[in-house]
Amino acid sequence: MEIEQNKIAVIIPIYNAEKYLVELVERICLQVPKANIIAINDASADNSLEICTKLEIDTINFPHNRGKGAALQAGLKRASERGFDFAFTIDSDLQHLPEDIPRFLSKQAETDADLVIGARDFSLKSMPWPRIFSNSTTSKVVSIAAGKKIIDSQSGYRLHRLAPLEKMQFRSERYQFETEIILKLAKQKGKFAFVSIDTIYNDEVSYISHLRDIWNFIKIVCYEITHR
């Protein structure tokens, strides 16, 4: 069964994304109403907040930087409070194509999945080799921990059913949050589906602190394995 459009939110975690926001919102609005967009400004140092205000989209503003996971949690909570049943999460730097939204919705209708993940092409023609290594490795680790094959555990382009998330208590406030959702949903016997997506690597700056985030990833996986 197809999801009604007024039941779908689109959540955008934002950190210093002023150069992409207008185009991103315009392209999302070709897929869903602007009223369905929820932006979370994670204490950007540029004009991201001002742009969100001018665009008149529902915006949560963090006065201090808290991390992508905290931004996503705030957005998902706002979506639930506003009565949406499903929510997309999409990066703010145009790495993800809003034009893929209908494909996620079709896959959800086909599978009745609780989480549809955009699976990227792990090949040198599509992704820098350090990302291929890190994404392939983490996806294998998460698959083992979840007890089911997770094709791309680190993809931020997702369609979430909100009801299962409302019962979860999260520990992560940074990039590991997306891993934590997968592991908690797997414990609940949630249903996963995957859609192949293109990922566009622009000249964006990575805000991942590799040693810190690798350590936090390990901690989250170990915690979820030992607290079944």
CATH topology for 5-226? Spore Coat Polysaccharide Biosynthesis Protein SpsA; Chain A (3.90.550)
Extract the tokens encoding 189: 């016997």
Instruction: Give average pLDDT by consecutive 10-residue segment, the chain, 228 residues.
Output: 90 97 98 97 98 98 96 97 98 95 97 95 59 74 87 93 94 84 93 90 54 61 66
pLDDT score, position 128: 61
Residue 64: which residues within 8 A CB-CB, separation 6 or more? 43
Contact criterion met (CB below 8 Å) for 56 and 22: no
Per-domain residue ranges for the chain? 5-226
Helix (H) or strand (E) holding 201: none
- Looking at residue 126, its pLDDT comes to 56
Distance CA 24, CA 75 (A): 17
Q: Which one, of 42, 52, 57, 43, lies nearest residue 20 by Cα? A: 52
- pTM beyond 0.75: yes
- What pLDDT score was predicted for residue 181? 94
